[in-house]
Amino acid sequence: MKVEKLKVGGIKSVLALAFALAAFAAQAAIAVWPDYVGITVPTNIAPLNFKIVPEGPDAAAALTAADGDRIDAAVDGVGNARWHAAGWRRFLAAHAGESVVLTASRGEDRLTGTNFVARLGMDTHLTYRLIAPSYTLYDELGIYERDLTSFDERPLFRNVQLATKMCINCHTHNRADPDQYLFHARAAFPGTMIVSKKWGERKVDLKTSGSLGAGVYPAWHPGGDFIVFSMNETRQTFYFSNPDKIEVVDLRSDLMLYSLADNTVAIIEDDPYLFETFPTWSPDGKCLFSSRARTPFTTMPTNETERFSQYVGQYEKVRYDLVVRAFDANTRRFSEPRIVFDAQKQGLSATFPRVSPDGRWLVATVGPYGNFHVWHNDADLWLFDLAERKMRRLSELNSPKSESYHTFSSDGHWMVFSSRREDGTYTRPYFAHFDAEKGRFDKPFLLPVENPDDHFRRMFSYNVPEFSNGPVKKSAREMRKLVARQAVPAQRAP
Amino acid sequence: METLLAIRAVAWKLADQTLVFADWDGFREMALPGDRPAGLLRWCARMATSLGLFDATWWMPYVLGALALGVSLHLLMRSPTRDVSVRRRLTSLFAWCVLGFLVAFAPLAFIGDFLWDEKEHSAPLFNLFGLVVSCGLFAAFRSWIRRPWGLVSVCALCAVLFVPFGAYALLAGLASAVCAWRGSVIPGACGALRSPFRGWHWLASAAFLLAAFPASCAWIYGDMACHIAWRYAQGFRLPCGPVGTLRHSFEMERCVRARDWRGVMALADAYKGSGRDFPLRMEIAFRILAQFHLETLPDDLFRYPIRTGHFSTDADQQSMDGYQLLFEYGLLQPARRSIYERVFTAGWEPAHHLYLGDIALLCGERLLAYRNYRQLRRCPFRRALADARLAALADATLFPQEELGMVAAAHSVWLEMGKAVDAPFFSTGNRIELIAYNYFRTLRKAPEFMARMLISVLLLDGDVPVLVQNVPWLDRITPPPKPWPLPVQEAIAAYASTLDDTKQAEFLSRIRPTALSPQATMRLDAFKRVARILGDSLSQKDKDRVRRDFGDSFFFYDCWVNPSVQRARSAQNPDRLDAEGR
């Protein structure tokens, strides 16, 4: 195989291909990657290290406040700019609530932009699952916790600690509480691990007689006494040439209410002609939101193969509305569902509803059809004003690629969401400041890492990013013990 | 000699399969994590495997094996001991037997760190490196442990060395500590050496044995070597049969990766020299692939004994993966899926990054291509290739036309045809004919090489009616006055013979006279006569005769080889046998 010699400047200039696109977009001869220009940063975020592109020597970067206070980044020979951690923290703390100017330069070329330092910090930790873009199989995966104030990342649990073919998923904190969380294990050591301040820790088998299956997508009740789970029968199919690559569908889905007090499960909805999934609670715990769609089955299929065959033929017609039910915690009863967003009527499908802590706003992932929107390039985030009953596409957050799973911080001033805007395949977490008064988000920014090249070296997606306002106290070894337990079967509520 | 010659092919294959990053970050990720001890050994073993040293010289493994053996024995012999009889024991008959094992099988360990089924035969090179390290550490610890604070320092060192060397460091530490504590020979052998390389009981029993009988280190390490050898012996017990077949299949893989299509054809045709009556599935699949790229489909399609009954995109699991076939046919999304599934069953390989990068490049996913080429660049001996690909990302004029041009063209065709189809393509396998049948029933828009391929799909599946629908466009492949490819003529002739006289005349009148040669019709008549005479039963003699006379014809294939046709006919007539007496 013959290799032609590179024409321009060796490999370093070649590697600048993607970054040249950023430079073009910025209308400047140089750009920074990740794009940390024009953003609002929390006071406690780790240093936002970046790369000055095109790569090359003699670059410089600095942050300057209005009063002349300045910090300079250490820039190496290829343009990687790194802020000194202590200096960065001091600078942000000193200029909270102020605009600061970011300057990057190489020779005569200069880039200048204004960032804003928020008055307050953000939840300090982020939990996510690292998983390769999977098709039908998976190997090593794990749930990790990242300290957002530094670059420290630690595994909470990795499947290799027990069995490689074990799937672990759906880790969720209750309102960013590091002492209340859950996640599932599948295949090997199956069960749901629940850690609760009030009820202790347990491993539960949520499948009961007559239920569709074990719990999948969870939603903690704010009081910590209940958890609503969806139950899903999920299948995957593959496009031949569609750039979306994969279509994941639910053949059946229902909702159940799990009570931690008495380890019981009550079925909320099990209509075989309805798909009910993605539950989420209002901050006061009085309402349960979810996504609901009518099944495409003309006649109820008798088996899974038939269901799948019928679904595949009409997959573009399955659209999810957002519905809400009132909930009485004393009686554990739900009202009939009421439509919040009639997506079906607009030719849309809304999933993953999340309500802001003040109860006014709801963010959902919306696409033209279906529910597994992480694989839909045209999936976007939408904002719903529950008070004024208005909605809009979040143009300030969306990109031509998929935006999906999102979570508000515990104070509601920040949101983290998953995006595949970089390359359409590897999901990365982005943060955005939220002005709850105006209902607007500021420009999002990518999770900071110590070396920007780490984003390319990491061949895993950051799946289901969830805030927590402190570290999980369990070590990976302790988590292993919990996962290795025998699951206690939940009982069906009378 | 077969075994020796296979070492080279195996070494190449393992070098090609082993993913290890030659930069500091790769070393740090693999060698240093504390939760995965012996990472340094693992990294060294992978690097040694990926270096592919054994491609040029088959004797290299023996040289390195001898070196490792010599170093190990030297370290053991130098162990401070006042018991002169230890040396004599080491010269005992048993020691020589152990040495014999090590000499014979240790070099095989240097073939690589993995066998093709790494889940079953894990890391023999890694273990051999560990063996050498353990010998060295034991020799060092035995001298230190007798000094003041010796035990404390050895324990501390073991704790530190546990990260890079894992259980091998602990073994050496335990053995030296027990030696120092007991101070004298303890008779008897420990019987707990049944599960080497794992378990604290093995470490403890091995340590006691070392302390009891210093020459028993030969037992322990000999036992390790025996297990290594046993695992290699198991590894050579392959589904494909003799070692010669293994070497042959690896050589064919190499030709496919180098896109040496004529070489693939030659290797595919060489199966007869290996003493086999029929080629392997992978040979069939690759030969057809080579014909596709040489644009000679379907000219000599049935001169090769195709038994798969369909246009295969799968090869034998133990050799090439389906993703290679899918990629070379331009089926990029299915190829990508296949790669990821291969990754999850067998781990990442450098080739996966190359192919994922190429798929992304051809699909216009430039950042995704960049990501994969960057990973490839970190692998030893792949930097130049990765740099070339990255250059192609930056400058379209550097696109590797020779390597990827045809794939890109094929992909464009599939893409264009796929636009007419909105539904997901749910594939239970990688059967191209499913794609061809469901979506591409016309050859009108296909470029010539794709038309040739689609015709071959139809022939191999025996779908003559669909082929007949495309008769008006067959002249695209062979314009007048040339006759159509012989398999096509035979299929058309066979179809025409099923029509009544009026319809047959009408059908043939639509075909240009020069498209069909009289030979096809004459051969069909001869075949029919033979088939009538033989009826539904075939003796071995008759089978051989039919295959000899008509085995390279579409008639023979459609009647007696195509499994789907066989199944349909068997369903109608259960007593009917096929050409193989099944």
Per-residue pLDDT for B438 more than 80? no
**Lowest mean pLDDT: which of A378-382, B35-39, B97-101, B264-268?**
B97-101
Return the closest-CA partner of residue B20 out of B373, B378, B278. B378
- Give pLDDT, residue B433: 53
- Give pLDDT, residue B312: 67
Segment A209-231 shows an average pLDDT of: 91
Are A248 and A287 contacting, i.e. CB atoms less than 8 angstroms apart? no
**Chain centroid, CA B68 distance in Å:** 29
- Give pLDDT, residue B193: 29
Whether residues B371 and A242 touch (CB distance < 8 A) is answered with no
**Chain A residues within 8 A of B345 when measuring between CB atoms:** 137, 139
**Residues A351-395 pLDDT 10s:** 999 999 999 999 999 999 998 888 888 899 999 999 998 999 999
Domains in chain A: boundaries: 10-117, 125-489
Q: Is B425 on the interface with A (CB under 8 A)?
A: yes
- In angstroms, the separation between the Cα of residue A322 and the nearest Cα of chain B is 26
Q: Which of A350-364, B7-21, B187-201, B444-458 has maximum average pLDDT?
A: A350-364
Angle between helices B486-497 and B501-509 (to 10 degrees): 150
- Count how many Cα atoms sit within 13 Å of the Cα of residue B250 in the half-sphere of its side chain: 20
Q: Is B181 on the interface with A (CB under 8 A)?
A: no
Whether residues A422 and B370 touch (CB distance < 8 A) is answered with no
Are A342 and A294 contacting, i.e. CB atoms less than 8 angstroms apart? no
Instruction: Please give the structure tokens belonging to residue A56.
Output: 């090359």
Which contacts (CB < 8 Å, 24+ apart) does range B257-262 have? B257/B16, B257/B324, B257/B351, B258/A1, B259/B293, B259/B403, B261/B289, B261/B290, B261/B293, B261/B294, B262/B290, B262/B294
Contacts of A225 (CB under 8 A, 6+ apart): A198, A199, A259, A260, A261, A329
Instruction: Please give the structure tokens belonging to residue B467.
Output: 């082929």
Q: Which of A13-17, A390-394, B25-29, B325-329 has maximum average pLDDT?
A: A390-394
**Chain A residues within 8 A of B336 when measuring between CB atoms:** 245
Share of chain A above pLDDT 70, in %: 93
Q: Is A25 on the interface with B (CB under 8 A)?
A: no
- In angstroms, the separation between the Cα of residue B441 and the nearest Cα of chain A is 16
Average pLDDT score over chain A? 89
Segment B91-101 shows an average pLDDT of: 53
Q: Is B344 on the interface with A (CB under 8 A)?
A: yes
Q: Would you call B39 helix, strand, or coil by DSSP?
A: helix
Q: How buried is residue B33: exposed, middle or buried, by Cβ count under 10 Å (0-12/13-18/19+)?
A: exposed
Question: For residue A454, what is the nearest residue in chain B, using CA coordinates?
Answer: B25
Residue in B393, B395, B425 nearest the CB of A238: B425
- In angstroms, the separation between the Cα of residue B336 and the nearest Cα of chain A is 9
Q: Is A297 on the interface with B (CB under 8 A)?
A: no
Instruction: Please give the structure tokens belonging to residue B80.
Output: 């401070």
Per-residue pLDDT for B65 more than 50? yes
Per-residue pLDDT for A232 more than 70? yes
- Give pLDDT, residue A386: 93
Interface of B with A in 131-160 (CB under 8 A): none
Q: Is A237 on the interface with B (CB under 8 A)?
A: yes
Q: For B490-507, give one letter per residue: b (16+ CB within 10 A) or e.
A: bbbbbbbeeeeeeeeeee
Q: How buried is residue B339: exposed, middle or buried, by Cβ count under 10 Å (0-12/13-18/19+)?
A: buried
**Chain B residues within 8 A of A8 when measuring between CB atoms:** 394-395
Between residues B419 and A169, the one the model is more confident about: A169
- Give pLDDT, residue B166: 81
**Residues A291-310 pLDDT 10s:** 999 988 777 777 877 888 78
Q: How buried is residue B18: exposed, middle or buried, by Cβ count under 10 Å (0-12/13-18/19+)?
A: buried
Distance in angstroms (rounded) separating the CA atoms of residues B217 and B195: 16
Q: Is A480 on the interface with B (CB under 8 A)?
A: no
Q: Is B393 on the interface with A (CB under 8 A)?
A: yes
Question: For residue A309, what is the nearest residue in chain B, using CA coordinates?
Answer: B426
Return the closest-CA partner of residue B456 out of B249, B294, B290, B310. B310
Per-residue pLDDT for A8 more than 50? no
Whether residues A240 and B398 touch (CB distance < 8 A) is answered with no
- Give pLDDT, residue A7: 36
**Lowest mean pLDDT: which of A79-93, B240-254, B287-301, B424-438?**
B424-438
- Give pLDDT, residue A4: 32
Per-residue pLDDT for A181 more than 90? yes
Are B455 and B436 contacting, i.e. CB atoms less than 8 angstroms apart? no
Between residues B381 and B356, the one the model is more confident about: B356
Q: Is B294 on the interface with A (CB under 8 A)?
A: no
Distance in angstroms (rounded) separating the CA atoms of residues A320 and A69: 51
Residues shown for chain B = 582
- Give pLDDT, residue A235: 85
Q: For B354-379, give one letter per residue: b (16+ CB within 10 A) or e.
A: bbbbbbbbbbebbbbbbbbbbbbbbb
**Lowest mean pLDDT: which of A88-92, A181-185, B68-72?**
B68-72
Pick the CATH number of A10-117 from 3.40.50.10090, 2.60.40.10, 3.40.50.11060, 1.10.1040.10: 2.60.40.10
**Lowest mean pLDDT: which of A459-463, B301-305, B448-452, B475-479?**
B475-479
Are A109 and A29 contacting, i.e. CB atoms less than 8 angstroms apart? yes
Are B354 and B25 contacting, i.e. CB atoms less than 8 angstroms apart? no
Instruction: Please give the structure tokens belonging to residue A111.
Output: 């880039």
Q: How buried is residue B321: exposed, middle or buried, by Cβ count under 10 Å (0-12/13-18/19+)?
A: buried
**Chain centroid, CA B582 distance in Å:** 30
Q: Which of B334-343, B404-413, B468-477 has maximum average pLDDT?
A: B404-413
Domains in chain B: boundaries: 2-236, 243-418, 519-582
Are A135 and B337 contacting, i.e. CB atoms less than 8 angstroms apart? yes
**Residues A418-439 pLDDT 10s:** 999 988 899 999 999 999 999 9
Q: Is B192 on the interface with A (CB under 8 A)?
A: no
Amino acid at B237: R
Whether residues B371 and A459 touch (CB distance < 8 A) is answered with yes
Whether residues B368 and A14 touch (CB distance < 8 A) is answered with no
Distance in angstroms (rounded) separating the CA atoms of residues B180 and B149: 13
**Residues A44-83 pLDDT 10s:** 999 999 999 887 788 999 999 999 999 999 999 888 999 9
Whether residues A237 and B375 touch (CB distance < 8 A) is answered with no
Q: Which of A74-78, A236-240, B307-311 has maximum average pLDDT?
A: A74-78
Q: State the DSSP code for A4.
A: P
Between residues A48 and B273, the one the model is more confident about: A48
Confidence of residue B215 (pLDDT cuts 50, 70, 90): low
Confidence of residue B240 (pLDDT cuts 50, 70, 90): very low
Per-residue pLDDT for B316 more than 60? no
Whether residues A425 and B334 touch (CB distance < 8 A) is answered with no
Please write down the HEC assignment for all residues of A399-423. CCCCEEEEEECCCCCEEEEEECCCC
Residue in B35, B391, B424 nearest the CB of A6: B391
Return the closest-CA partner of residue A118 out of A40, A64, A39. A40
**Chain B residues within 8 A of A243 when measuring between CB atoms:** 363
Q: Is B408 on the interface with A (CB under 8 A)?
A: no
- Give pLDDT, residue A282: 96
Q: Is B563 on the interface with A (CB under 8 A)?
A: no
Answer whether the bond into residue A301 is a cis peptide, omega within 30°. Answer: no
**Chain B residues within 8 A of A245 when measuring between CB atoms:** 333, 336
Segment B222-231 shows an average pLDDT of: 56
Place of tokens 């960057």: B374
Average pLDDT score over chain B? 72
Q: Does domain B243-418 have CATH number 1.20.140?
A: no
Per-residue pLDDT for B277 more than 70? yes
Contacts of A193 (CB under 8 A, 6+ apart): A182, A183, A184, A185, A201, A202, A203, A479, A482, A483
Distance in angstroms (rounded) separating the CA atoms of residues A4 and A202: 61
Q: State the DSSP code for B114.
A: B
Contacts of A67 (CB under 8 A, 6+ apart): none
**Residues A465-493 pLDDT 10s:** 999 999 999 998 899 999 999 999 999 98
Question: For residue A15, what is the nearest residue in chain B, using CA coordinates?
Answer: B390
- Give pLDDT, residue B509: 86
**Chain A residues within 8 A of B371 when measuring between CB atoms:** 423, 426, 456, 459
Answer whether the bond into residue B481 is a cis peptide, omega within 30°. Answer: yes
Are A326 and A319 contacting, i.e. CB atoms less than 8 angstroms apart? no
Whether residues A15 and B395 touch (CB distance < 8 A) is answered with no
- Give pLDDT, residue A134: 67
Interface of B with A in 212-271 (CB under 8 A): 258
Question: For residue B119, what is the nearest residue in chain A, using CA coordinates?
Answer: A164
Strand partners, A328: A333
Are B439 and B356 contacting, i.e. CB atoms less than 8 angstroms apart? no
For chains A and B, what is the number of CB pairs under 8 angstroms?
125
Share of chain B above pLDDT 90, in %: 11
Residue in A14, A139, A245 nearest the CB of B390: A14
Question: For residue B403, what is the nearest residue in chain A, using CA coordinates?
Answer: A1
- Give pLDDT, residue B317: 42
Q: Is A459 on the interface with B (CB under 8 A)?
A: yes
Whether residues B333 and A238 touch (CB distance < 8 A) is answered with yes
Whether residues A17 and B366 touch (CB distance < 8 A) is answered with yes
**Topology (CATH) of A125-489:** Neuraminidase (2.120.10)
Whether residues A312 and B435 touch (CB distance < 8 A) is answered with no
**Residues A136-165 pLDDT 10s:** 666 778 899 999 999 999 999 988 888 767
Distance in angstroms (rounded) separating the CA atoms of residues A434 and B46: 48
- In angstroms, the separation between the Cα of residue A78 and the nearest Cα of chain B is 16
**Residues B127-166 pLDDT 10s:** 667 777 877 787 788 778 778 888 888 889 988 888 888 8
**Residues B520-550 pLDDT 10s:** 888 888 888 887 777 666 677 777 778 788 8
Instruction: Please give the structure tokens belonging to residue B247.
Output: 């070497």
Distance in angstroms (rounded) separating the CA atoms of residues B470 and B493: 15
**Chain centroid, CA A115 distance in Å:** 24
Place of tokens 């029509």: B499
Q: Is B381 on the interface with A (CB under 8 A)?
A: no
List the end-to-end C-alpha distance of chain A, in Å, as a whole number. Answer: 71
